[in-house]
Chains A and B, each alone.
Chain A
Amino acid sequence: MSEERYKKFVELFKNPINRREMKDSSVIEVGRNTCGDTLTIYLKIKDGKIEDASYEGAFCAFSNASASQVTEFVRGMGIDEVLAIDKPKLFELIGDDLSDNPHRLSCILFPLNTVKKACEKYLDHTADNKPKPIPKSCAHCDSHNAELGL
């Protein structure tokens, strides 16, 4: 991948969109990528639609660029629509399929996967119209610790 193409990601890295804490979010999800990067996704959801989305914490240029774009384009989408976004759709939305830099695929997928986990968490906790408190947690760490019996 050329430095030129990198610049597109670097631009979003230097000037990220939606990189902010959201005090009145409906759900917060903390994601952890296998490389060690962590990301907090905030979603404000009303009537099954994403009213606002933001993030904090992504560290590398690729996850920042992806998080900036993902939080931008999920705004206005229904939860089902967000959960239906697949890889080709994501590539179309961010304008790159990383075919010449596959090592960074997980950086690009990471924000979307965390947004989807936030949506699933929201659905879990609002099922049957009986809202339960939504914990802030890290799905990766929880499952890892469960495997270790910790």
Chain B
Amino acid sequence: MAFDVQKIREDFPILKRKIHEDKPLIYLDNGATSQKPYSVINSIKDYYEGYNANVHRGVHTLSAEATEAYEEARKKIARFINAEPEEVIFTKNASEALNLVMYSWGTSNITSSDKITTSIMEHHSDFIPWEVLAKKKGAKFEIMDVDKNGEIPEPEFSKITGAKITSIVHASNVVGTINPVKEMGKIAHDSGGVIMVDGSQSVPHMGVDVKELDCDFFAFTAHKMLGPTGVGILYGKKEILEKMPPFLYGGEMVVDAKVTGCSWNELPYKFEAGTPNIAGAIGTGAAVDYLTKIGMQNVRAHELELLGYGIEKLQEIPNLEIYGPLEPEKRTGVITFNIKGISSIDLSNLLDEYGIAIRSGFHCAQPLHDAMEVLPSARISFNIYNTKEEIDYLIEKMHEIVKVLS
């Protein structure tokens, strides 16, 4: 399918709205969450209007239809990342998926003689759980550092050796760097460890094949990939998931509940206690359909074009420093920067006056900001509906704001 950004924009109703009465929305905060196409919105509406029922419960028509749609969504997601459906667990977000592994696998496998390795560029959701577990168990906590380009230098990879688990972000939500997680996984496996990958910022922007990456766990979230909020996905290798204790207890995850003890349901249901976000899962399936139709190679190609253009144009602003590698192919669609003497929150607040939405702050990655010795930063992040014209408008307004604040 040919990539036509104007045609794609028509699929997203929110892009028609105006901000502050008459300013067209320029949405450049996709790293925080993406917008949703009609097909995703309608799939949720169709579920609530046409076949709303609980899944895996009743033997009536609605429940059967809801169950089929929910499980179909799981299969679509599994195909999208090249996993088996029983290896795809629905959670409420990527944070919960990462915490599931920490609580279930981590608390039952990590002891005081073990080592946990992660990196300084992690989102808080992949940093704090391991920091807390290491502290609780008295385990060693090793952190791979970044260089001045926001990349993890190869000598740092040696910290993976001997770690019982290495948890690493696939693509940084700040510096955008795409980490060589396959290579890191090989190092982990060679010394008997497992590797978990946080793919929240990679899955929406590039094709991901968990078998090719050979990672043991992979977490991501639906709302950054055109899907609804409230749905996270945890992929885990079947043989590992089977040995893990449940994370949450309750309905669905149990197959035999007796006062003398319980036995747990099979995968993936062992990890899906309680009524899931059925509408959200169905919406995620619709988002996968939408992205599949466009083709992830086209999604990535468009993003690379915007990245190259954005990096070049941003550097026209005086005293602006971009964090992370400047080569587009080394990163996903986020560009984080600071302008000397101007607070990122002032910048984003003033850009909002022109209908431009960007992010400011630590982006839930304070350890990375501290390590790079930089202040809370401004971040623009792209998706398939963004255009070069939007970048031009952003740059024009940034020049004006810099004049006011300097």
Contact = CB atoms under 8 A, between A and B. Distances in A.
Contacts of A107: 345
A150 B135 contact: yes
Nearest to B131: A148
Which of A3, A35, A36: most chain B Cβ within 10 A? Answer: A36
Interface residues of A, number: 21
A13 B362 contact: no
Interface string A81-103: 00000000000000000000101
B135 A148 contact: yes
Given A1-B353, A104-B349, A36 B362 contact: yes
Contact of A61 (B128, B346, B369): B346
Contacts of A59: 343, 375-376
A3 B350 contact: yes
Nearest to B400: A3
Contacts of B132: 148-149
Nearest to B347: A60
A21 to B, nearest CB: 20
Contacts of B1: none
A30 B136 CA distance: 29
A59 B132 CA distance: 31
Interface in A104-150: 104, 107, 148-150
Given A2-B353, A10-B404, A36-B376, A60 B135 contact: no
Interface in A5-32: 6-7, 10, 13
Nearest to B343: A60
A69 B362 CA distance: 27
A7 B353 CA distance: 14
Contacts of B369: 36
A35 B375 CA distance: 10
B59 interface: no
Contacts of A37: 343, 345, 376
B262 interface: no
Contacts of B360: 35
A55 interface: no
A60 B404 contact: no
B366 A36 contact: yes
Contact of B346 (A2, A62, A150): A62
Contact of B375 (A6, A10, A36, A103): A36
A3 B404 contact: yes
B14 to A, nearest CB: 19
B135 A61 contact: no
Contact residues of B: prevailing secondary structure:
helix
Contacts of A60: 343, 345-346
B376 A35 contact: yes
Contact of A148 (B128, B345, B362): B128
A54 to B, nearest CB: 20
A149 B138 CA distance: 12
A135 B207 CA distance: 53
A35 B361 contact: yes
Contact of A35 (B128, B345, B352, B353): B345
Given A3-B353, A36-B362, A37-B376, A10 B131 contact: no
A6 B345 CA distance: 13
B259 interface: no
A22 B128 CA distance: 37
B2 interface: no
Nearest to B354: A3
A60 B347 CA distance: 9
B346 A7 contact: no
Contacts of B366: 36
A7 B346 CA distance: 12
Which of A13, A60, A101: most chain B Cβ within 10 A? Answer: A60
Contacts of A61: 343, 346, 405
Interface string B344-368: 0110011011000000111000100
B350 A149 contact: no
B349 A101 contact: yes
A7 B404 contact: yes
Contacts of A6: 350, 404
Contacts of B353: 1-3
Nearest to B360: A35
Contacts of A7: 404
28 contacts: A1-B349, A3-B350, A3-B353, A7-B404, A10-B405, A13-B405, A35-B345, A36-B361, A36-B375, A36-B376, A37-B343, A37-B345, A37-B376, A59-B376, A60-B343, A60-B345, A60-B346, A61-B346, A61-B405, A62-B345, A101-B349, A103-B349, A103-B352, A104-B345, A104-B349, A148-B128, A148-B131, A148-B132
